[in-house]
Amino acid sequence: MTEENLPKETLDLALKVLEHNLSNFKGYRMIVPHLDRYPVPYCWDTAFHVLGLINVCPKLARENIDGLLSLAREDGLIPNAPLERGDQDLRSQPPLIIFAVNEYYEKTQDIVSLSRWYPTLRKYYLWWKKYGSPQGNFQGFIAPFTGTRTPQSNMLAYWAVCSTGMDNHAVYDPTNGQTININGYYYLPVLDVFLSSIMASAAKSLSKIAFALNIKEDRRFFEEEYKDMKMRVNLYMWEDKDSFYYSLLLNGEKIKTRSIQAFTTLFAEIPENDMASGLINYLEDNREFKGEFGIPTISFSDKKYMTPQPEWLYSRDPYYWRGPIWAPTTYLVFRGLQNYGLTKKAEEIVYKWLSLIMRAGGFYEYYYNDGSPGRTHLDNFGWTAAVTIKLLFDAKLVSEKDVQALNEQTLCESG
């Protein structure tokens, strides 16, 4: 595989992975994370699957959105997964589906579907806003939290972390596995820069959707929501001395773990230009986040980098989100760089990502920083393939004509 042919050949392989994970879920043709290990839709996985499908099969992207939104409860919650095991149906994951829906609309101009989805997306955002803070609306930030059927479980803190999608990230170590019970929800005492940034992005996307639907009052509401979260993140989470964003403990103390989560502020267009420049410098430093194959989830120089999880966390790999390279975070950083006009730096990330796929020999759930795959039984992983496709299209390394040339029609045969 030559560098010239690498994007198109990788596209072909990624499409085959999505086809492999295509499943019928309650009448919807949906991509699942992994047909054997995770054979049902997961909330933020589906958002990335939609992003990967937009350019290669918009009608299947639409069906995946329909399928995920069909799981929404009356109060607005879209579950982590439709599974009672581990109370996954009683919490959610980062609300990236709102961004994905706006991306779908901007590509397809499908106003009929957008108007049908909007009430559910609006309720989902308001569910996060209402229940996402451990102290009512303390500083407006979002904390990891979960509902449960078993209040005495020693898993509560772990399940709360799972609402971030980053199931054992070291940012949450200072909580020592303690949770706060407020009206039946259990919160980690952390004001989360990642979840708060994703909420800011969701508000920005909803303001665009409301504009497209000519719902003026909602457009203004979500514009103000975005501006408010941006102000709060910059005011409380930015550390000027370090030129970095940190999550907070409830007393306002910064959790000084240098995490990839800080760069999701770029995705949400939160930093002012001078702040963005300081933050982006970390991506150019070999001692921090500039890896040979991609961006680690914790800085190479941080004392928490590749340290095993504490006993109250239960991920199968103790290093899971504590240093390895992941598809979703790679895309969020890539898109953040694009937001600030840094197309060349963004493209460099894509080529490193493609080199990682080649080095590891497939689309695994995640990767170690030497280029080897994590949890090697989980190849053909859905979001890894979907993110790869989205990166290739957003970096303009492939086009719809390349998909047609590959004669990849199976994904679009129905739906």
Query: Which residue shows structure tokens 């150019």?
Result: 284
pLDDT score of 134: 74
Instruction: Look up the pTM and report it.
Output: 0.97
pLDDT score of 69: 98
Report the alpha-carbon distance of residue 3 to residue 62 in Å, rounded.
33
pLDDT in tens, 371-398: 999 988 889 999 999 999 999 999 999 9
Cα separations in angstroms, 363 against 7, 44, 214, 382, 388? 14, 18, 41, 8, 9
The more confident residue out of 409 and 369 is: 369
Tokens of 53: 């499908």
259: helix, strand or coil: strand
pLDDT in tens, 189-248: 999 999 999 999 999 999 999 999 999 999 999 999 999 999 999 999 999 999 999 999
pLDDT in tens, 125-163: 999 999 998 765 456 899 999 999 999 999 999 999 999
Torsions phi, psi of 6, nearest 5? Answer: -55, -50
Domains of the chain: 6-412 (1.50.10.10)
The residues, ordered by sequence, that sit 6+ positions from 53 with a Cβ below 8 Å of its Cβ are 18, 31, 60, 61, 64, 386, 389, 411
Report the alpha-carbon distance of residue 59 to residue 145 in Å, rounded.
34
Eight-class DSSP state of 236? I
Q: Which residue, 51, 89, 86, 85, is CA-closest to 72?
A: 89
